[in-house]
């Protein structure tokens, strides 16, 4: 079942509802625990605990600057040695890590997210994307 998440901790189950539902999230987690044959919660989540998440915000002055920065991000994605996805901005999937750039829906900022099991790799991916985005200024 696909899930979606936000940096602020929001979790969504799109096939159930397109909004947060804490009771449902709690029930799904209890379902995972029940299937774990008595393993403690710490062991159930252990395979996911070693991922490092980096978030960078790049502010812009107006719509033209935003468009230029997103064009620079698109150009970077199109030449990268990774699997691109444009479902929600410009995302590169490297198999062992990913980076996503998208405009904020609420603020004049371009948001960059990166995740990897290696903290330095996540930081490098976010930094490289920030440099690409800022080249559009």
Section 6-20 average pLDDT: 77
Sheet of strand 83-85, all strands in order from the earlier edge strand to the far edge = 52-59, 109-116, 97-103, 90-93, 83-85
Which pLDDT tens digit goes with each residue over 35-74? Answer: 998 899 999 888 877 889 999 999 999 999 999 999 999 9
Distance between CA atoms of 82 and 52, rounded to whole angstroms?
Answer: 19
| 125 touches 99 (CB < 8 A) | yes
Question: In the beta sheet, which residues pair with residue 55?
Answer: 113
| Distance, CA of 121 to CA of 107 (rounded, Å) | 27
Residue 12 has pLDDT above 90, yes or no: no
Give the containing element (helix H, strand E) for 112. strand 109-116
Report which of residues 32 and 109 the model is more confident about. 109
The first and second tokens of residue 61, run together, are: 């002055």
pLDDT digit string (tens) for 59-115? 999 999 999 999 999 999 999 999 999 988 999 999 999 999 999 999 999 999 999
Does the pLDDT of residue 7 top 70, yes or no? no
Q: Where is 74: in which H helix or E strand?
A: helix 63-79
Residue entry with tokens 């002055």: 61
Burial letters 101-111, b for 16+ CB under 10 A, else e: bbbeeeeeebb
- What value does the mean pLDDT take over residues 20-28? 85
Task: Give the angle 18-55-66 at the CA atoms, nearest 5°.
Answer: 80
What is the pLDDT confidence band of residue 13, given thresholds at 50, 70 and 90?
confident
Q: Which of 21-25, 69-73, 107-111, 133-137 has the lowest mean pLDDT?
A: 21-25
Structural domains of the chain ordered from first start: 4-47 (no CATH), 51-134 (3.30.310.50)
Find how far residue 22's CA is from the centre of its chain. Answer: 21
At 1, the pLDDT band (50, 70, 90 cuts) reads: low
The predicted pLDDT at position 103 comes to: 96
Both tokens assigned to 84: 């691109």
């Amino acid at each position: 079942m696909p899930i979606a998440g936000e940096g602020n901790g929001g979790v969504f189950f799109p096939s159930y509802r397109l909004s947060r539902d804490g009771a449902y999230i709690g029930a799904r987690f209890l379902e995972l625990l029940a299937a774990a044959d008595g393993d403690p919660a710490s062991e159930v989540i252990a395979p996911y605990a070693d991922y490092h998440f980096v978030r960078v915000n790049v502010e812009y002055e107006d719509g033209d600057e935003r468009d230029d920065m997103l064009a620079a991000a698109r150009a970077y994605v199109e030449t990268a040695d990774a699997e691109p996805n444009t479902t929600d901005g410009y995302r590169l999937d490297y198999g062992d890590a990913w980076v996503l750039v998208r405009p904020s829906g609420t603020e004049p900022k371009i948001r960059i997210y990166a995740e990897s099991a290696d903290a330095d790799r996540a930081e490098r991916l976010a930094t490289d994307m920030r440099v690409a985005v800022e080249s559009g200024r």
